Amino acid sequence: MGPHSHESNPDRDVRLLLAAAGLLLLFMAAEIGVAVAASSLALLADAGHMLTDVLALLMAVAAARLAQRPASGVWTFGLGRLEVLSAAVNGVTLLVVAAVVAVEAIRRLFHPLDVGGTPMAITAAAGLGVNLVATLLLSRADRRSLNIAGAFAHVMTDAAAFAATGVAGVIIIGTGWHRADPIASLVVVALMLVASAKLLRHSGVVLLEAAPEHVDLIVLREHLLETGDEVLDVHDLHAWTVGTGLPAVSAHVVVADRCFEDGKAARLLDELQSCLAGHFDVENSIFQF
């Protein structure tokens, strides 16, 4: 996930999330009715995925609101990591829905049902349009946040799923081959698994306190050693991410004795912190001399 061009604006992001959730909720209710009438598993799979979309968007709203609360009491970093937990939960829900749909799709491959191709294709086309609108809304939010990225992944995956369902509907109309419906469902499952793996990987990096992807600890250590002649060694070097956009570094820095004379330690500390901020975009650092 690369940086996004929009500046962070939590209130705007919440409004965009709510607008997208409302749009998807209205369409989901209509789609379930059509899916039942047409006996389409692919449409039901899309509706199930859309339900996870709505839940993901609402969870993202709650996480974004809570993350804005200032640090207090035992929450010395605030609740910023809730956004990362939200992304992880989104990844898990995608896995669960994918498993349920996969089991039913495999069953229908062996025992296909008569599926109404026309309502399936029309509903899929409408769903694709709705998801594209929701995608455009969320594209204006700050996707550097794992929370927003998780919600965006849900909606993008759903748009691709509707495209697959539409193709299956056209095949059924043209050929009467009803196995196109469960095959489209398996395409949806594959898309869910890809999106889930990406979300779980990125959120896992934060929750397991691995070094941020843009921070190479070997290079970082070399930069610190080159900061000044007073720096003799750097060890116990750690880098992690507190929350979205909050990388942090801590290290023990062995310095020459003269560093503690005439205020040189304070100057060296400023230089080390400037090095991290300038070369690695790390504003939060803890050094022990």
Give pLDDT tens digits for 10-49. Answer: 778 888 888 988 888 888 888 788 878 877 776 777 677 6
pLDDT at 5: 42
Q: How confident is the model at residue 287 (pLDDT cuts 50, 70, 90)?
A: very high
Cα end-to-end distance, the chain, whole Å: 35
| H-state helical runs in the chain | 10-38, 41-67, 82-110, 117-139, 146-175, 180-207, 217-225, 264-280
pLDDT of residue 6: 46
Q: Please give the residue that has the higher pLDDT: either 280 or 114.
A: 280
CB 223 within 8 A of CB 260: no
Cβ atoms of 1 and 149 closer than 8 Å: yes
- What is the model's pTM? 0.71
| Among 164, 171, 152, 166, CA closest to 189 | 164
Closest CA to 57 of 118, 166, 108, 131: 131
Question: What pLDDT is stored for residue 258 in this prediction?
Answer: 84
The pLDDT value recorded for residue 236 is: 92
Could you read off the pLDDT of 211-259 as tens digits, one per residue? 888 788 899 999 899 887 888 999 999 998 877 667 889 999 999 888 8
What letter represents residue 235's amino acid?
A: H
- pLDDT for the residue 251: 93
Q: What is the pLDDT of residues 129-179, one digit of tens each?
A: 888 898 888 888 877 777 787 778 778 877 887 888 888 889 888 888 888
Is a pLDDT exceeding 50 seen at residue 112?
yes
Percent of the chain with pLDDT over 90: 8
Helices 180-207 and 41-67, axial angle in degrees (round to 10): 20
